[in-house]
Structure 1
Amino acid sequence: MAGTNSFDVVSKPDLQEIDNAVNQAIKEISQRYDFKGAIAEIEFNKEEIKIHAQDEFKLSSIMEILKGKMVKRGVSPKFLDEGKVETATGGTVRQTVKIKDGISKEKAKDIVADIKNSKIKVQAQIMDDIVRVSGKNKDDLQAVIQMLRGK
Protein backbone atom coordinates (compact mmCIF):
# COMPACT_ATOMS: atom_id res chain seq x y z
CA MET A 1 0.00 0.00 0.00
CA ALA A 2 2.20 2.80 -1.27
CA GLY A 3 0.53 6.20 -0.97
CA THR A 4 1.97 9.53 -1.88
CA ASN A 5 3.57 11.78 0.69
CA SER A 6 3.93 15.52 0.37
CA PHE A 7 5.16 18.68 2.03
CA ASP A 8 4.63 22.37 1.37
CA VAL A 9 7.27 25.03 0.84
CA VAL A 10 5.78 28.14 2.41
CA SER A 11 7.00 31.51 3.64
CA LYS A 12 4.69 33.03 6.27
CA PRO A 13 5.89 35.46 8.92
CA ASP A 14 4.68 35.24 12.51
CA LEU A 15 2.79 38.55 12.71
CA GLN A 16 2.42 38.37 16.49
CA GLU A 17 6.18 38.09 16.93
CA ILE A 18 6.70 40.99 14.50
CA ASP A 19 4.22 43.04 16.55
CA ASN A 20 6.12 42.15 19.73
CA ALA A 21 9.44 43.12 18.10
CA VAL A 22 7.96 46.49 17.01
CA ASN A 23 6.69 47.14 20.54
CA GLN A 24 10.10 46.28 22.01
CA ALA A 25 11.79 48.59 19.49
CA ILE A 26 9.39 51.42 20.40
CA LYS A 27 10.18 50.90 24.08
CA GLU A 28 13.95 50.89 23.48
CA ILE A 29 13.76 54.03 21.32
CA SER A 30 11.79 55.86 24.03
CA GLN A 31 14.50 55.01 26.60
CA ARG A 32 17.62 55.73 24.53
CA TYR A 33 19.52 58.93 25.15
CA ASP A 34 20.33 59.60 21.48
CA PHE A 35 16.59 59.67 20.66
CA LYS A 36 15.58 62.10 23.46
CA GLY A 37 13.66 65.00 21.95
CA ALA A 38 14.01 63.60 18.43
CA ILE A 39 11.22 62.50 16.12
CA ALA A 40 11.21 58.70 16.06
CA GLU A 41 7.93 56.87 15.43
CA ILE A 42 7.03 53.35 14.35
CA GLU A 43 3.55 52.26 13.25
CA PHE A 44 2.64 48.65 12.52
CA ASN A 45 -0.36 47.19 10.74
CA LYS A 46 -0.60 43.65 9.39
CA GLU A 47 0.97 44.40 5.99
CA GLU A 48 3.55 47.12 6.64
CA ILE A 49 5.61 49.07 9.14
CA LYS A 50 5.80 52.85 8.80
CA ILE A 51 8.84 54.56 10.28
CA HIS A 52 9.06 58.33 10.73
CA ALA A 53 12.35 59.85 11.93
CA GLN A 54 14.14 63.15 12.25
CA ASP A 55 16.86 62.30 9.71
CA GLU A 56 18.23 59.40 7.70
CA PHE A 57 20.78 58.46 10.37
CA LYS A 58 18.04 58.08 12.99
CA LEU A 59 15.94 56.16 10.47
CA SER A 60 18.74 53.67 9.85
CA SER A 61 19.27 53.37 13.63
CA ILE A 62 15.57 52.56 14.09
CA MET A 63 15.78 49.91 11.35
CA GLU A 64 18.80 48.31 13.04
CA ILE A 65 17.00 48.26 16.40
CA LEU A 66 13.91 46.74 14.78
CA LYS A 67 15.92 44.06 12.94
CA GLY A 68 17.78 43.19 16.14
CA LYS A 69 14.52 42.78 18.04
CA MET A 70 13.10 40.60 15.26
CA VAL A 71 16.15 38.32 15.32
CA LYS A 72 15.87 37.96 19.12
CA ARG A 73 12.22 36.95 18.70
CA GLY A 74 13.08 34.34 16.06
CA VAL A 75 11.74 36.22 13.01
CA SER A 76 14.02 36.63 10.02
CA PRO A 77 14.60 40.23 8.88
CA LYS A 78 14.34 38.87 5.32
CA PHE A 79 10.56 39.22 5.72
CA LEU A 80 11.07 42.99 5.58
CA ASP A 81 10.99 44.66 2.17
CA GLU A 82 12.38 48.14 2.77
CA GLY A 83 10.89 50.86 0.60
CA LYS A 84 12.69 54.01 -0.43
CA VAL A 85 13.30 56.80 2.04
CA GLU A 86 10.97 59.75 1.45
CA THR A 87 11.27 63.29 2.73
CA ALA A 88 8.41 64.44 4.94
CA THR A 89 7.37 67.79 6.39
CA GLY A 90 9.77 69.75 8.54
CA GLY A 91 12.90 68.13 7.11
CA THR A 92 12.00 64.72 8.54
CA VAL A 93 12.11 61.42 6.66
CA ARG A 94 9.85 58.40 6.52
CA GLN A 95 10.04 54.90 5.14
CA THR A 96 7.43 52.23 4.50
CA VAL A 97 8.59 48.68 5.10
CA LYS A 98 6.38 45.99 3.56
CA ILE A 99 6.11 42.58 5.20
CA LYS A 100 6.62 39.77 2.70
CA ASP A 101 3.88 37.16 2.99
CA GLY A 102 4.03 34.00 0.88
CA ILE A 103 6.30 33.06 -1.99
CA SER A 104 6.28 35.24 -5.09
CA LYS A 105 5.47 33.64 -8.45
CA GLU A 106 9.04 34.15 -9.72
CA LYS A 107 10.57 32.59 -6.61
CA ALA A 108 8.10 29.67 -6.79
CA LYS A 109 9.08 29.04 -10.42
CA ASP A 110 12.75 29.03 -9.40
CA ILE A 111 12.04 26.51 -6.61
CA VAL A 112 10.15 24.20 -9.00
CA ALA A 113 12.96 24.47 -11.57
CA ASP A 114 15.57 23.62 -8.92
CA ILE A 115 13.57 20.57 -7.86
CA LYS A 116 13.20 19.37 -11.46
CA ASN A 117 16.90 19.94 -12.18
CA SER A 118 17.85 17.81 -9.16
CA LYS A 119 16.46 14.71 -10.98
CA ILE A 120 14.83 13.45 -7.75
CA LYS A 121 11.63 11.49 -8.41
CA VAL A 122 9.11 13.98 -6.97
CA GLN A 123 6.48 16.29 -8.41
CA ALA A 124 6.35 19.99 -7.55
CA GLN A 125 3.41 22.27 -8.22
CA ILE A 126 2.66 25.91 -7.49
CA MET A 127 -0.51 26.57 -5.49
CA ASP A 128 -1.02 30.35 -5.04
CA ASP A 129 1.77 31.38 -2.65
CA ILE A 130 3.01 27.90 -1.68
CA VAL A 131 4.84 25.10 -3.52
CA ARG A 132 3.62 21.55 -2.88
CA VAL A 133 6.13 18.75 -3.36
CA SER A 134 4.80 15.19 -3.49
CA GLY A 135 6.34 11.80 -4.08
CA LYS A 136 6.06 8.12 -3.15
CA ASN A 137 9.36 7.77 -1.34
CA LYS A 138 9.91 9.70 1.93
CA ASP A 139 13.67 9.57 1.41
CA ASP A 140 13.28 11.46 -1.88
CA LEU A 141 11.20 14.12 -0.12
CA GLN A 142 13.82 14.47 2.59
CA ALA A 143 16.50 14.81 -0.08
CA VAL A 144 14.49 17.65 -1.65
CA ILE A 145 14.14 19.35 1.76
CA GLN A 146 17.91 19.17 2.29
CA MET A 147 18.55 20.49 -1.21
CA LEU A 148 16.18 23.45 -0.68
CA ARG A 149 17.68 24.26 2.72
CA GLY A 150 21.10 24.29 1.11
CA LYS A 151 19.92 26.98 -1.30
Structure 2
Amino acid sequence: MAASSNHSFDIVSEVNEVELHNAIQQARHEVAVRYDFKGTKAGIEYDKKNRCLTLTADHQGQLEAVVMVLKEKMLKRGVDHRALKRGKIEEASHDTVREVVTFHRGIEADDARKIVKEIKAMGLKVQAQIMDEKVRVTGKKIDDLQAVIAHLRKNGPEYPLQFENFT
Protein backbone atom coordinates (compact mmCIF):
# COMPACT_ATOMS: atom_id res chain seq x y z
CA MET A 1 0.00 0.00 0.00
CA ALA A 2 1.22 3.51 -0.73
CA ALA A 3 2.36 5.48 2.31
CA SER A 4 -0.05 8.32 1.53
CA SER A 5 -3.22 6.20 1.51
CA ASN A 6 -5.81 6.71 4.22
CA HIS A 7 -7.19 3.96 6.42
CA SER A 8 -10.64 4.08 8.03
CA PHE A 9 -13.18 2.24 10.13
CA ASP A 10 -16.75 2.80 11.26
CA ILE A 11 -17.90 2.93 14.87
CA VAL A 12 -21.38 1.40 15.13
CA SER A 13 -23.69 -0.01 17.78
CA GLU A 14 -25.64 -2.98 16.50
CA VAL A 15 -26.98 -6.26 17.81
CA ASN A 16 -26.76 -9.57 15.96
CA GLU A 17 -30.51 -10.07 15.43
CA VAL A 18 -30.27 -13.84 14.88
CA GLU A 19 -28.27 -14.47 18.05
CA LEU A 20 -30.51 -12.06 20.00
CA HIS A 21 -33.60 -13.97 18.83
CA ASN A 22 -31.98 -17.29 19.85
CA ALA A 23 -31.02 -15.89 23.27
CA ILE A 24 -34.59 -14.64 23.84
CA GLN A 25 -36.05 -18.04 22.84
CA GLN A 26 -33.67 -19.83 25.23
CA ALA A 27 -34.49 -17.41 28.06
CA ARG A 28 -38.23 -17.86 27.47
CA HIS A 29 -37.81 -21.63 27.61
CA GLU A 30 -35.77 -21.51 30.82
CA VAL A 31 -38.31 -19.21 32.52
CA ALA A 32 -41.09 -21.60 31.44
CA VAL A 33 -39.44 -24.74 32.88
CA ARG A 34 -37.39 -23.52 35.85
CA TYR A 35 -38.59 -24.76 39.23
CA ASP A 36 -38.44 -21.38 40.98
CA PHE A 37 -40.69 -19.86 38.28
CA LYS A 38 -43.29 -22.68 38.36
CA GLY A 39 -46.81 -21.43 39.07
CA THR A 40 -45.78 -17.77 38.80
CA LYS A 41 -46.54 -15.05 36.26
CA ALA A 42 -42.85 -14.81 35.26
CA GLY A 43 -42.48 -14.55 31.50
CA ILE A 44 -40.89 -12.89 28.50
CA GLU A 45 -42.92 -11.65 25.53
CA TYR A 46 -40.98 -10.73 22.40
CA ASP A 47 -42.40 -8.12 20.03
CA LYS A 48 -40.09 -8.60 17.06
CA LYS A 49 -41.77 -5.89 14.96
CA ASN A 50 -41.21 -3.17 17.58
CA ARG A 51 -37.95 -4.73 18.77
CA CYS A 52 -38.92 -4.87 22.43
CA LEU A 53 -39.51 -7.35 25.23
CA THR A 54 -42.16 -7.25 27.91
CA LEU A 55 -40.94 -8.98 31.06
CA THR A 56 -43.51 -9.94 33.68
CA ALA A 57 -43.14 -11.36 37.18
CA ASP A 58 -44.94 -11.64 40.51
CA HIS A 59 -42.62 -9.08 42.17
CA GLN A 60 -39.54 -6.98 41.50
CA GLY A 61 -37.08 -9.57 42.85
CA GLN A 62 -38.48 -12.19 40.49
CA LEU A 63 -38.34 -9.68 37.62
CA GLU A 64 -34.62 -9.22 38.30
CA ALA A 65 -34.22 -13.02 38.15
CA VAL A 66 -35.91 -13.02 34.71
CA VAL A 67 -33.52 -10.26 33.56
CA MET A 68 -30.56 -12.31 34.83
CA VAL A 69 -31.74 -15.34 32.83
CA LEU A 70 -32.02 -13.15 29.73
CA LYS A 71 -28.55 -11.62 30.22
CA GLU A 72 -27.04 -15.07 30.80
CA LYS A 73 -28.53 -16.39 27.54
CA MET A 74 -27.37 -13.28 25.65
CA LEU A 75 -23.84 -13.74 26.98
CA LYS A 76 -23.79 -17.39 25.88
CA ARG A 77 -24.87 -16.33 22.36
CA GLY A 78 -22.24 -13.58 22.15
CA VAL A 79 -24.72 -10.70 22.44
CA ASP A 80 -23.55 -7.87 24.71
CA HIS A 81 -26.16 -7.42 27.47
CA ARG A 82 -25.33 -3.69 27.60
CA ALA A 83 -27.45 -3.44 24.44
CA LEU A 84 -30.54 -3.82 26.69
CA LYS A 85 -32.32 -0.55 27.43
CA ARG A 86 -34.39 -1.20 30.52
CA GLY A 87 -37.64 0.63 31.00
CA LYS A 88 -39.36 1.55 34.22
CA ILE A 89 -40.92 -1.17 36.32
CA GLU A 90 -44.71 -0.80 36.42
CA GLU A 91 -47.43 -2.38 38.48
CA ALA A 92 -49.47 -4.66 36.22
CA SER A 93 -52.74 -6.55 36.61
CA HIS A 94 -53.21 -9.51 39.00
CA ASP A 95 -50.55 -8.24 41.46
CA THR A 96 -47.70 -8.53 38.97
CA VAL A 97 -44.94 -6.20 37.78
CA ARG A 98 -43.97 -5.50 34.20
CA GLU A 99 -41.01 -3.92 32.44
CA VAL A 100 -40.58 -3.10 28.77
CA VAL A 101 -37.03 -3.61 27.53
CA THR A 102 -35.77 -2.31 24.18
CA PHE A 103 -32.46 -2.81 22.40
CA HIS A 104 -29.89 -0.23 21.62
CA ARG A 105 -29.38 0.34 17.91
CA GLY A 106 -27.14 2.97 16.37
CA ILE A 107 -25.08 5.64 18.06
CA GLU A 108 -27.23 8.41 19.51
CA ALA A 109 -26.48 11.93 18.21
CA ASP A 110 -25.23 13.26 21.58
CA ASP A 111 -22.94 10.24 22.00
CA ALA A 112 -21.67 10.59 18.43
CA ARG A 113 -20.72 14.23 19.17
CA LYS A 114 -18.99 13.17 22.42
CA ILE A 115 -17.08 10.42 20.56
CA VAL A 116 -15.89 12.88 17.89
CA LYS A 117 -14.86 15.36 20.61
CA GLU A 118 -12.95 12.66 22.53
CA ILE A 119 -11.16 11.52 19.38
CA LYS A 120 -10.10 15.13 18.62
CA ALA A 121 -8.91 15.56 22.22
CA MET A 122 -6.56 12.58 21.77
CA GLY A 123 -4.42 14.75 19.49
CA LEU A 124 -3.87 12.05 16.87
CA LYS A 125 -3.77 12.73 13.14
CA VAL A 126 -7.22 11.26 12.49
CA GLN A 127 -10.53 12.70 11.38
CA ALA A 128 -13.89 11.61 12.77
CA GLN A 129 -17.21 12.39 11.12
CA ILE A 130 -20.77 11.53 12.05
CA MET A 131 -22.67 9.61 9.36
CA ASP A 132 -26.29 8.88 10.39
CA GLU A 133 -26.05 6.44 13.32
CA LYS A 134 -22.33 5.72 13.01
CA VAL A 135 -19.01 7.56 13.20
CA ARG A 136 -16.33 7.13 10.53
CA VAL A 137 -12.71 7.58 11.58
CA THR A 138 -9.97 8.06 8.96
CA GLY A 139 -6.23 8.51 9.28
CA LYS A 140 -2.92 7.70 7.59
CA LYS A 141 -1.50 5.53 10.40
CA ILE A 142 -3.15 2.25 11.38
CA ASP A 143 -1.56 2.64 14.85
CA ASP A 144 -3.49 5.90 15.37
CA LEU A 145 -6.76 4.18 14.42
CA GLN A 146 -6.01 1.30 16.78
CA ALA A 147 -5.32 3.83 19.57
CA VAL A 148 -8.77 5.35 18.95
CA ILE A 149 -10.40 1.90 19.17
CA ALA A 150 -8.55 1.09 22.41
CA HIS A 151 -9.55 4.45 23.91
CA LEU A 152 -13.24 4.02 23.02
CA ARG A 153 -13.34 0.45 24.36
CA LYS A 154 -12.38 1.89 27.76
CA ASN A 155 -14.19 5.24 27.61
CA GLY A 156 -17.13 4.73 25.26
CA PRO A 157 -20.84 5.04 26.06
CA GLU A 158 -22.74 2.60 28.33
CA TYR A 159 -23.90 0.53 25.37
CA PRO A 160 -21.66 -1.69 23.23
CA LEU A 161 -19.73 -0.34 20.25
CA GLN A 162 -18.41 -2.32 17.33
CA PHE A 163 -15.61 -1.29 14.98
CA GLU A 164 -16.10 -2.45 11.41
CA ASN A 165 -15.12 -1.89 7.75
CA PHE A 166 -11.47 -1.48 8.73
CA THR A 167 -9.51 -0.56 5.58
Report if TM-score (shorter chain) is over 0.5. Answer: yes
- Separation in 1 of the partners of 2:151 and 2:137? 13
Aligned pairs, number: 151
Runs of 4+ in 1 over 3 A off after TM superposition: none
- For 2:158, the equivalent position in structure 1 comes to none
Which residue of the other structure, out of 1, 11, 15, is the alignment partner of 2:13? 11
1:51-95 deviations in Å (ceiling 9; x for gaps): 122222221110111111111111111100110011111111110
- Separation in 2 of the partners of 1:127 and 1:111? 13
**1:68 partnered with 2:72:** yes
1:8-67 deviations in Å (ceiling 9; x for gaps): 011101121111111111111122111111112211234211112222222111011111
- Separation in 2 of the partners of 1:116 and 1:128? 19
Higher relative contact order (CA 8 A, sep 6+): 2
SS at match of 1:39: coil
- For 1:34, the equivalent position in structure 2 comes to 36
Which residue of the other structure, out of 137, 141, 148, is the alignment partner of 2:145? 141
- Separation in 2 of the partners of 1:43 and 1:97? 10
SS at match of 1:84: coil
Q: TM-score, normalised by structure 1?
A: 0.93
Moved more, 95-104 or 40-49: 40-49
SS at match of 2:124: coil
Q: Using the TM superposition, give the Cα deviation of residue 144 of structure 1 relative to its aligned residue in structure 2, in angstroms.
A: 1.7
Higher helix residue share: 1
- Separation in 1 of the partners of 2:80 and 2:71? 8
- Separation in 2 of the partners of 1:102 and 1:76? 14
Q: Residues 1-150 of structure 1 correspond to what in structure 2 (within 5 A)?
A: 1=2, 2-46=4-48, 47-150=51-154
Moved more, 98-107 or 132-141: 132-141
